[in-house]
Structure 1
Amino acid sequence: MANKSNSSGCFNILNRNDLNWYVDQYAIPASLHPTLPEKNTPIYPFVPGKIGVYTRLFDYCNYRLPLTKFLIEVLLFHEVHPSQMNSFGLARVCHFELACRGLNSDPDLNVFRAFYKLNRSGS
């Protein structure tokens, strides 16, 4: 059974039409070569050369591809993959970045860390 600490039980449920809808709706660049895994392929471990992405991230977090440099900084600092982030945590990162840009400022990881603390599950 899949849970927060075991993604090996999470499988693809999309079909080709669903993928095409997400590619169109969220303007996913064709250069990223979006593809569907086989129905019985778990999201983790990732297929070599591919990054698994949950569609719920698009629906609930305003998640977009390609990723912004700031989001990549946050993910690298915390050593997490986007699929490991809670949708509220990912939304906070995006909200902070948008607020900075609205103030004509570049988002800064140290400033972000002064306002927000991202916790690992079980911490």
Structure 2
Amino acid sequence: MANKSNLSDCFNILNKNGLKWYVEQYAIPASLNHVLPAKDTAIYPFVPGKIGVYTRMFDYFNYRLPLTKFLIEVCHFELACRGLNSDPDLNVFRAFYKLNRSGSRYTFEVRKKNECCYS
């Protein structure tokens, strides 16, 4: 069974009409050169020059393209954890990033080296 820890078992199930619907529904810019992978193409190992996107992210997390700085920071953290053969962990995330209010939105900023992550 495919899960977030076993990406080599996650395959494309979207067809051309489904891709067209997502591109139109979520206003994905054509400049991103979206490509529908073959049905037997796993999301991992990653295709050089491409970013694999789960359509459920649009529905459940209000995911939008182009990516926001917030999402890039979260993805960077996950990739760093996976590069160290570790699952992402919220406590470790808090050691590197802190929540920051920016107007009516929230984002993360890099925590200073000697700044405590708990009060």
Same-fold status (TM-score > 0.5): yes
* Cα offset, 1:108, TM superposition: 4.1
| Residue identity matched to 1:75 | C
2:41 corresponds to which residue? Answer: 41
Identify the residue that residue 25 of structure 1 maps to in structure 2.
Answer: 25
Measured after TM superposition, the shift of residue 102 of structure 1 is 1.5
Cα distance in 1, alignment partners of residues 78 and 10 from structure 2: 21
Say if 2:82 is the partner of 1:80.
Answer: no
Q: Is the 8 A contact 2:73 2:108 kept in 1?
A: no
Name the residue aligned to 2:59: 59
The offset of 1:79, in angstroms, is: 4.0
The answer on whether the counterparts of 2:11 and 2:39 sit within 8 Å (CA) in structure 1 is yes
> Would you tell me which structure has more helix in proportion to its own residues?
1
Distance in 2 (CA, whole Å) between partners of 1:34 and 1:101 is 32
Contact 1:101 1:107 in 2 (8 A): no
Structure 1 residue aligned with 2:104, among 98, 102, 105?
102
Indicate how the Cα distance of structure 1 residues 108 and 6 shifts in structure 2: closer, same or farther if over 3 A, else same. Answer: closer
Q: TM-score, normalised by structure 1?
A: 0.65
SS in structure 2 of the partner of residue 42 of structure 1: coil
Write the distance in 1 (CA, Å) between the matches of 2:38 and 2:108. Answer: 39
Which amino acid letter does the alignment assign opposite residue 12 of structure 1? N
Q: Quick one: percent identity of the two aligned structures?
A: 63
The amino acid across from 1:58 in the alignment is: F
Q: What TM-score comes out, normalization by structure 2 length?
A: 0.67
Paired position in structure 2 for 1:92: none
Aligned residues: 97
Q: 2: distance between equivalents of 1:73 and 1:4? A: 18
Question: Matched residues in 2 for 1:51 and 1:60: separation?
Answer: 19
User: 1:28 Cα shift?
Assistant: 0.4
